[in-house]
Copies of this chain bind each other. A is one copy, B any other.
Amino acid sequence: MTRENLEGTPRLIRALRGETVGPPPVWLMRQAGRYLPEYREVRRRVGGFVELCLTPELAAEVTIQPLRRYPLDAAILFSDILIVPYGLGQKLEFREGEGPVLERVASRADLARLDLGGLVERVAPVFETVRRVRAALPAGAALIGFAGSPWTVASYMVEGGGSRDFAVAKRFAYGDEAGFAALIERLVEATVAYLSRQVEAGAQALQLFDSWAGALAEPAFRRWVIAPTRTIVDRVRAAHPDIPIIGFPRGAGLMTETYAEETGVDAVALDTTIPLDAARALQRRRTVQGNLDPQLLVIGGEPLQRGAQAILEALARGPFVFNLGHGIVPETPPDHVGALVEQVRGWAG
C-alpha cells in the first residue's frame, strides 16, 4: 500500500485535527533507535549520544531510517528531551547502561547558571536536522518535532539524571515552591522557543513527552504538569495555529482526562495502562494516540497481532493515531515492527 494524499495534507495531520482516517495513521515512539542495525551502524561512527543528536547529517539519517523500512505516516525528529537542559548550558552525558548524567540544579541559586539567551544557538543543529528531514521526507509522511514537558525535564535536571522515586526533585518542588516554579518557568520559556524553531524549520506536528507525569499526586500534577503544559500549548499555538500538539502524560491514570481537557492539547497519547473503554471515552472530545505494549513488539506473532487488533477495533473508527504506549525497546526484532505496521495499514474496519 502506498501513502495516500501525495499532494494533500498528511494522514497524520488530518487525524490529529480530529478527522477519522481509515486505516489510521501509524508511527511508533522510538522508531529510530537501537533495535535497527542501520542505526547502530551510524551510532558507532560518533563518540557520544549528544554528538549524534547535534550532527544534522547523522541525526537526519537516523530519523529517516525507519521510514525506508516501513510505510510509516510520520518521522519523529531524532533527538532527546535533555537537549533543552544541554541548550541551557547544563553539562550532559549519556553513559552506557547508566542513562543520562547531568550537572545538578540543586537549588534556586543554580538557576542563574541556566542560559536561556544561549539556548537557540546551542541547539541550532537540531533545527538544521529538522530542515534536512523535512526535505527528505517520503511523500505523505509528516515530520513530528518534540520536547520534554517541564516537570519531566526538571526532574532530570534536579536529580542529575534518572530517578526511581524523584526524592530530590520533590524535595525541591515542595521545599522551595517559588524556586521550583522559577525553574519550571524557565523551562516553559525554553520549550516554547525550542518548539517554535522546530516548527519554523519544518516540523508539522509536535509532541510533548511527560514521561514522569505519573510520579505526582493531584495537586502537584495540576501545578507542575497541567499548568506549564497549558502555557506551552497556548503560546506555541498562538504563533503556529495550524500545528497540532500531542501531549503524552505517561502514568497519568485517572488524571488523563483532566490533563486532556485542561492543557488543550489536540491529541492525547495514552500509555499501555489506559483501558480501551477509557480511551474511547477520551476520543469523543479529541484524537487519541496509542497504546500497544512495546513488549508485544518484542514477543511478536499471535500475541502482537491480537493486541494490535483489539486497539484497532476499539479506536480506529474515530480520530486516532496508532502507536505504542511507550518507546520501542532495543531487543525488538525489526520484522515484528514490519508486521505491525502492515497490519495497521491493512486494517479495513
Binding site for B on A (CB under 8 A): 165-167, 170-171, 174-175, 214, 216-221, 251-256, 258, 272-276, 278, 291, 293, 295-296, 298-299, 303, 307, 310, 325, 329, 331
Q: Judge whether B329 and A299 touch: CB under 8 Å.
A: no
Q: How far is the CA of A255 from the CA of B279 in the complex (A)?
A: 12
Kindly state the separation between the CA atoms of A258 and B254 in the bound complex, as whole angstroms: 13
Q: Are A217 and B174 in contact (CB under 8 A)?
A: no
Q: Which of B171, B274, B278, B295 contacts A165 (CB 8 A)?
A: B295
Q: Which of A167, A175, A218, A329 has the most CB of B within 10 A?
A: A218
Jot down 16 A-B pairs with beta carbons below 8 A, ordered by A.
Answer: A165-B329, A167-B329, A167-B331, A171-B298, A171-B299, A175-B299, A214-B251, A217-B273, A218-B275, A221-B273, A251-B251, A252-B273, A254-B254, A254-B273, A254-B274, A254-B275
Contacts of A325 in B (CB 8 A): 217
Bound together, the chains give a CA A335 to CA B329 distance in angstroms of: 43
Please report the C-alpha to C-alpha distance between residue A166 and residue B298 in the assembled complex, in whole angstroms: 12
- Asked if B254 and A174 sit within 8 Å, CB to CB, the answer is no
Which chain B residues border A174 with CB–CB below 8 Å?
295-296, 299, 303
Given contacts A254-B275, A278-B254, A329-B165, contact A299 B218 (CB under 8 A): no
Distance of A275 Cα from B214 Cα, bound (Å) = 12
- Docked Cα-Cα span, A217 to B296, in Å, equals 11
Give bound CA distance, A171 to B294, whole Å. 11
From A221, A254, A274, A310, name the one whose CB has the most chain B CB atoms within 10 angstroms: A254
Flag if B295 contacts A166 (CB, 8 Å).
yes
Query: Are B295's CB and A274's CB within 8 A?
Result: no
Partner of A253, one of B170, B274, B291, B296: B274
Which B residues touch A295, using CB under 8 A?
165-167, 170-171, 174
The 10 A-B pairs at the shortest CB distance, nearest first, are namely A253-B253, A174-B303, A218-B275, A170-B295, A254-B278, A217-B272, A174-B299, A217-B293, A253-B273, A254-B275
Residue in B closest to A222 when the chains form the complex, CB atoms: B275
- A307 CA to B293 CA, complexed, in Å: 34
A253 partner residues in chain B, CB cutoff 8 A: 251-254, 256, 273-274
A167: nearest chain-B partner, CB-CB? B295
* B255 and A273 within 8 A (CB): yes
Q: What is the CA–CA distance of A253 and B277 in the complex, to the nearest angstrom?
A: 13
Q: Which residues of B contact A171 (CB under 8 A)?
A: 295, 298-299
Q: Which residue of B lies closest to A175 (CB)?
A: B299
Most chain B CB within 10 A, of A165, A221, A307, is at A165
Contacts of A214 in B (CB 8 A): 251, 273
Q: Which residues of B sit under 8 angstroms from A276, Cβ to Cβ?
A: 218
B-chain residues with CB within 8 Å of residue A291 when the two chains form the complex: 217
Residue of B nearest to A255 (CB): B275
B329→A217 contact, CB < 8 A: no
Bound CA–CA A258/B165 (angstroms) = 27
Q: How far is the CA of A130 from the CA of B175 in the complex (A)?
A: 40
- A171–B165 Cα gap in the complex (Å)? 27
Find chain B residues with CB under 8 A from A251 CB. Answer: 214, 251, 253, 273
A122 to chain B, nearest CB (A): 31
Known contacts A217-B325, A218-B276, A272-B217, A298 near B254 by CB under 8 Å: no
Task: Tell me whether B273 and A216 are in contact (CB under 8 A).
Answer: yes
